[in-house]
Amino acid sequence: MVQFIDVFKTYENGAKALKGVTFEINDGEFAFLVGPSGSGKSTIIKLITGEIAPMDGTVIVNGYDMGNIKFGKMPYMRRTLGVVFQDFRLIEDKTVYENVAFAMRVVGASTKEIKRRVPYVLELVGLDSRSRRRPQELSGGEQQRVAIARALVNNPSLIIADEPTGNLDPARSLEIMMLLEKINELGTTVLVVTHEKELVNSLSKRVIAIDGGRVISDGLDGYYNYEE
């Protein structure tokens, strides 16, 4: 679960990124976070992943109070999250299998667990036949599916996808959204940051629109209330 209660954030250069943001995403929900460049979307993501701390207000992520979390607890909080980036961020000299296994390895999973879990997740994202390929041998859509598999492999309760379709054509974008929807149906909370209006409206999910550091609309019917 993600809870933002009257959150303010001002950067060192004086830029006021968030001005009293309040919203809540419950376990098992699927939500879009939309807004123009500089609206505060990235700040919200960074607050959720613990890259920055709130200046005022409360941010709770999967039970961790992000304003007071100790540095040593941060890795354990991050293990409850899966993050997917627009630029995939795969390790070029590792195969698809190794990229996914790597995420398990770094949290101390045993080889036995890795051998059991990675093929299952690759099958879930439809890449079981591509496991020995390296990222550069795959299409953009396939690379993003590897990134989703990596985010999913440690069984997080929340997946954050930051512009996951920004580098993909419309058909591949829809595939990625369908995959995220399928993951959500399996019980994982999903928060997607995106600009793509058609895509957002086609899925009829909750949309949190942010502009100027404030939440300007929060609808459950897939309504895209933000006009660029």
In whole angstroms, the minimum distance from the beta carbon of 60 to another protein comes to 18
The span from the CA of 130 to the CA of 112, in Å, is 21
How far is 64 from 112, CA to CA, in rounded Å?
Answer: 30
Q: Which span (32-40, 80-88, 119-127, 218-226) binds another protein, by CB under 8 A?
A: 80-88
User: Which residue in the set 59, 103, 176, 191 belongs to the binding site for another protein (CB under 8 A)?
Assistant: 103
Beta carbon of residue 113, minimum distance to another protein (angstroms, whole number) = 10
Note whether 96 binds another protein by CB under 8 A.
Answer: no
Min dist CB 6 to another protein, Å, is 26
Pick the closer one to another protein by CB: 79 or 133.
79
d(CA 165, CA 180): 11
The binding track of 137-176 with respect to another protein, each residue x by CB under 8 A or -, is -------------x---x----------------------
How many Å apart are CA 148 and CA 192, to the nearest integer? 12
CA 139, CA 88: separation in Å to the nearest integer?
11
Q: Does 2 bind another protein (CB under 8 A)?
A: no
Going 86 to 91 to 92 to 96, the CA torsion angle's sign is: negative
The strand pair at 56-61 and 2-10 is best described as antiparallel
CB of 95 to another protein, least distance (A): 15
- Residues 59-78 binding another protein (CB under 8 A) are 72, 75-78
**Segment contacting another protein by CB under 8 A, of 19-27, 79-87, 174-182, 188-196:** 79-87
Nearer to another protein, 41 or 150 (CB): 150
Q: How many alpha carbons lie under 13 Å from residue 71 in its C-beta half-sphere?
A: 0
Q: Please list every residue from 27 through 56 that binds another protein, using CB under 8 A.
A: 49, 51
- With vertex at residue 148, the alpha carbon angle to CA 153 and CA 68, rounded to the nearest 5 degrees, is 70
H-assigned helices in the chain:
41-49, 74-78, 96-105, 111-124, 140-152, 170-185, 197-203
Which parts of this chain interact with another protein (CB under 8 A)?
A: 49, 51, 72, 75-79, 81-83, 89, 91, 102-103, 105-108, 110-111, 150, 154
